[in-house]
Amino acid sequence: MTTKEILDHHWDAFTTQDLDMVMEDYDEGSVVITNMGTFRGLDEIEGLFTNIFDEFSQAGSTAELEMEEIEGDTAYIVWHGETPDNHYAFCTDTFRIEDGVITMQTFAGDVQPK
């Protein structure tokens, strides 16, 4: 799969809070770096997304993609969202995708509690 196909798959999985689908994009060597910590391997990454989906599955939650840029095996997105708990004013993720797998991801965001 191409970088674009993996990115689209990942965004669809994220916006539908489909944990099984999102986990298809990672493997045991994957790393996700955030301001909440670094998550390595499938178990830690699954725990991260379980917590995220607990929040984004609440009624009235949204996530909207503003921009994406792809260069080779690297993808960059900007998005914003709302949940009953937080306002995600500006969020960005960068992905390195190799052989159909997200091997490295970073996240940063302006997240304000309501």
Token output for 97: 């995708």
* Alpha helix (H) residue ranges in 1-114: 3-15, 19-23, 41-56
Q: What pLDDT score does 69 carry? A: 98
Question: What is the spatial distance between Cα 81 and Cα 63, in angstroms, rounded to a whole number?
Answer: 4
Tell me which DSSP letter residue 60 carries: T
The reported pLDDT for the residue numbered 85 is 96
The string of pLDDT tens digits covering residues 3-32 is 999 999 999 999 999 999 999 999 999 999
**Which domains, from first to last, does the chain contain?**
3-113 (3.10.450.50)
d(CA 103, CA 32): 8
Give the pLDDT confidence score for residue 19 in this predicted structure: 98
The number of C-alpha atoms within 13 Å of 75 and in the hemisphere containing its C-beta is 22
Q: Which residues lie below 8 Å from residue 51, measured CB to CB, with a gap of 6+?
A: none
Q: Answer yes or no: pTM beyond 0.85.
A: yes
* Average pLDDT, integer, range 78-84: 97
pLDDT in tens, 36-63: 999 999 999 999 999 999 999 999 999 9
Closest CA to 51 of 64, 32, 71: 32
Pairing of strands 101-113, 86-98: antiparallel
pLDDT of residue 77: 98
